[in-house]
Chain A
Amino acid sequence: MPDPSARSTLDTMAKGSPAAEAATPPRKGTFDQEKYLRFYEQMVHIREFEEICEPAFRAGNHGIGGYLHLYSGEEAIAVGIIGAMDLPKGDCFIGHYRDHAYALAAGSDPGQVMAEICGKATGCSKGKGGSMHICDAERGFYGGYGIVGGNVPIALGLGWSIKYRGGDQVCACFFGDGSMNQGGFHEALNMAQLYKVPVLFVLENNGYAMGTSIERSHANTDLASRVESYNMKHDTIDGQNIFTVHERVQEIIAGMRKDPHPFFLECKTYRYHGHGAADTQVTQATYRTKEEIEKWRTQRDPILIAEKILMEAGALSQADRDRIHAEAKDAAKAALKFADDSPNPSPDELLKDVYA
């Protein structure tokens, strides 16, 4: 068995990465308190949503089966980036199988998202897709995809359609570090730069492709530098700090609107749960330590970081904090109840929606 302590994303961060510099984030100047409070609230709601999925999966009586990939620990990325997009104006985004948070960050109804995870008729995909295939066409969410890297070439097409129509919208494409070792990823990035399509490629670098660390899977572990071969603009940021994520993405998007081009943004982050529900504490022990998870949970948690900044700025009181957490817990429970109370898809749905 490999020694999981032989590597650590935390150690990598300690060596002067942007994430390390932001470890204790001071907040200077003013900021839009209302907006960031909203982001904070969204992150807490997403966290509670994900945290109720886990026991519901284990309980086995909610209709949740198959795969279940949870976003806990990575919330600042979905919220900060989707929060920087103008969805009514036609900005859009596409994700992968760890996808509940994208819909929730865009304002999709949590009940419908949970109902999809539970395979119910009221689910956003009518119970036909499940946890990995959440979507919301109305809000520009082109869906979560189950094949690693499979959504990246499709994002190129979404960006192409914007260019084709001469619009100034942008498309965000979320993927993980594992996607960067798929061939199609590189075809898509080369073409995106060649055609200057307005796609923001968002790397959620959580350090592991399932159980394989970056060190064991990338010949060049400076992942953002890999896109330099495509002459693509790129940046690497602390994905745990909502302020860092949102402000940087606002700048990037403004630039993309003015002069359409792709951009590669690496967000350093961490997932608290296993790769999927089948990646238990036993299997996780083959590739990472409990201490590593604990360090991230206590020192680098996006909700705690936001909380600290908001409280120091006087934008969030302890009472508000407690209220928000209680409301989020209730909302997650309500979503699960909605799913539980919803009917299964009727048999006549089986053959519908194969063709338009």
Chain B
Amino acid sequence: MAKIRYTDALTLALQEEMDRDESVFIIGEEVGQYLGTLQVTKGFLEKYGKNRVVDTPISEVGIIGTGIGAAMAGLRPVCEMMRMDFALPAYDQIAQHAAKIRYMFGGQFKVPMVIRGPSGVVNQLSAQHSQALEALFCHCPGLKVVVPATPADAKGLLKSAIRDDNPVVVLEALKIQFQKVDWWEEIQEGLSEVPDDPDFYPELGKAKVLREGTDVTLVGYSTMTTTNLRAAKLLEKDGISAEVVDLRTLLPLDMATPLASIKKTHRAVVVQEQWGLYGCAAEISAQIAERAFYDLDAPVQRVTGAFVPMPYSRALETLAYPNENDVVAAAKRTLYGK
């Protein structure tokens, strides 16, 4: 077990899979000669060559299209979006083609590709580069959507995504990607630990309890899982025992794990980074209401971002997405102000 950063975990995952399987290649903007916009693929071009580390023009439609065609023909492309925001010009290729090809051709083709890149709300990148777009991908049957919250999952789930036979969107948590090991360990001991085993690739669609508790369940994913862990520590000081469930993947969505937790705690707070209206937390809350209504002692609470394009000014930005205090307040609402 090594203690490493989230970003190093991503690099390791890509490296191990490229070493293991010659059909894996990386394609995207600045992935080769520039060493990767975020240096995730640093040294890859030198090691694997131009055929497997493909620098492209700023042409997301072309990048995703190349991935789809290559995947249908039996390769395992990893398409890097410099930011997931830039996947939007290629949304037609992703939602209308990659996601639907298997079904609309009656199962004749597989599309084993990964679309990955940094995602989420990040310091002062403002309206067009600081947002959480997972709901757009979750609305597409045929896609899998992976949202790793920890270094271990950044490595393991990315490896699982590459080995999966379906198009998988991996949304990497830029806000916490470069946090040092100490930052993780401060939140929770062992949180930066990553298994060394190159065959560690967890099944997609299994949520995980990261912290056990008895009074309230905090459900989240990606950056918000770390926010929930910090909220749980604050709640502990007030004598409230919070259980933290990390969903890890949104498609497939594992509801059994949060529902089992709620059966125990009888209270639920669902946290997502942005836009609550029609967001993932809405779906999760609805499922809790439908399937665990009689387990609940209080209405499910959602904690989400404000329904605005992300503002630039720090003074406004901090108001636009949830922090641990918002989660604490929501948890206390389920306990009727206890």
Question: CB within 8 Å of B: which residues of A?
Answer: 92, 94, 123-129, 133, 135-137, 142-143, 145, 147, 150, 152-164, 183-184, 187-188, 190-191, 194-195, 352-356
In the complex formed, the residue of B with least CB distance to A129 is B104
Contacts of B105 in A (CB 8 A): 125, 128-129, 133, 135, 137, 143
- Asked whether A153 lies within 8 Å of B93 as measured between CB atoms, the reply is yes
- Give the contacting residue for B61; candidates A145, A153, A194, A354; CB below 8 A: A153
Give complex CA distance A183, B89 in Å: 9
Give complex CA distance A183, B51 in Å: 25
Q: Known interface pairs A150-B92, A153-B61, A356-B166. Does A143 touch B101 (Cβ–Cβ under 8 Å)?
A: yes
- Give the contacting residue for A160; candidates B69, B101, B103; CB below 8 A: B69
The contact sample of 7 A-B pairs, CB cut-off 8 A, is A128-B105, A150-B92, A152-B65, A154-B72, A158-B70, A164-B70, A355-B142
A153 to chain B, nearest CB (A): 2
- Give the contacting residue for A157; candidates B68, B90, B106; CB below 8 A: B68
- Asked whether B103 lies within 8 Å of A190 as measured between CB atoms, the reply is no
- Asked whether B107 lies within 8 Å of A157 as measured between CB atoms, the reply is no
- Asked whether A157 lies within 8 Å of B96 as measured between CB atoms, the reply is no
Give complex CA distance A354, B165 in Å: 12
Contacts of A145 in B (CB 8 A): 97
B24 to chain A, nearest CB (A): 11
B107 to chain A, nearest CB (A): 4
Give complex CA distance A160, B63 in Å: 11
Give complex CA distance A55, B72 in Å: 35
Question: CB within 8 Å of A: which residues of B?
Answer: 25, 51, 54, 56-57, 59-62, 64-75, 77, 89-90, 92-93, 96-97, 101-112, 141-142, 144, 165-166
- Asked whether A161 lies within 8 Å of B70 as measured between CB atoms, the reply is yes
Contacts of A352 in B (CB 8 A): 107
- Asked whether A353 lies within 8 Å of B106 as measured between CB atoms, the reply is yes
- Asked whether B51 lies within 8 Å of A164 as measured between CB atoms, the reply is yes
Q: Known interface pairs A160-B69, A161-B75. Does A184 touch B93 (Cβ–Cβ under 8 Å)?
A: yes
In the complex formed, the residue of A with least CB distance to B25 is A164
- Asked whether A157 lies within 8 Å of B67 as measured between CB atoms, the reply is yes
Task: Please name the 7 residue pairs, one residue from A and one from B, whose CB atoms are nearest each other, closest first.
Answer: A157-B69, A153-B65, A126-B106, A161-B73, A125-B106, A187-B62, A184-B61
Contacts of A190 in B (CB 8 A): 57, 59, 62
Q: Known interface pairs A127-B106, A353-B106, A356-B166. Does A187 touch B57 (Cβ–Cβ under 8 Å)?
A: yes
